[in-house]
């Protein structure tokens, strides 16, 4: 999924291991998109590639590009796609600061 985000020019990618902090998921994958169109493209491509290449279906998609935050739920992995301003506002990395950072890419 990280490769998919990079291919679609998503940025500021962080993968958090939240297994010791949460029971509802094991990992958060967080990234930015620069505009509503890119947020939608990232969400659509992530769900499509997961289905085609790994035969994994999402449990659901919440939010929309207009809100600045799209969440794609794959069960053990939750993908958060933010506009930069919404990412700063919600600051999941600080909220989940006890989580282990597995990957961080600007």
Task: Give residue limits of the domains in the chain.
Answer: 1-67
How confident is the model over 15-74, as pLDDT tens digits?
A: 999 999 999 999 999 999 999 999 999 999 999 999 999 999 999 999 999 999 999 999
* pLDDT for 24: 96
Pick the CATH number of 1-67 from 3.30.460.10, 3.40.50.150, 1.10.287.70, 1.10.357.10: 3.30.460.10
Q: Give the pLDDT confidence score for residue 106 in this predicted structure.
A: 85
Spatial CB neighbours of 15, under 8 Å, sequence gap ≥ 6:
2, 27, 28, 29, 30, 101, 102, 103, 104
How many Å apart are CA 48 and CA 17, to the nearest integer?
A: 24
pTM of the model: 0.94
Distance from the Cα of residue 45 to its chain's centroid: 12
């Amino acid at each position: 999924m990280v490769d998919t985000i990079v291919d679609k020019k998503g940025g500021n990618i962080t993968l958090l291991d939240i297994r010791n902090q949460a029971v509802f998921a094991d990992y958060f994958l967080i990234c930015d998109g620069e505009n509503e169109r890119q947020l939608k493209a990232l969400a659509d491509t992530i769900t499509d590639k997961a289905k085609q290449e790994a035969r994994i279906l999402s449990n659901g998609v919440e939010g929309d590009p207009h809100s600045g935050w799209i969440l794609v739920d794959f069960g053990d992995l939750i993908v958060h796609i933010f506009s930069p301003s919404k990412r700063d506002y919600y600051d999941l990395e600080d909220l989940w600061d006890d989580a282990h950072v597995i990957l961080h890419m600007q």
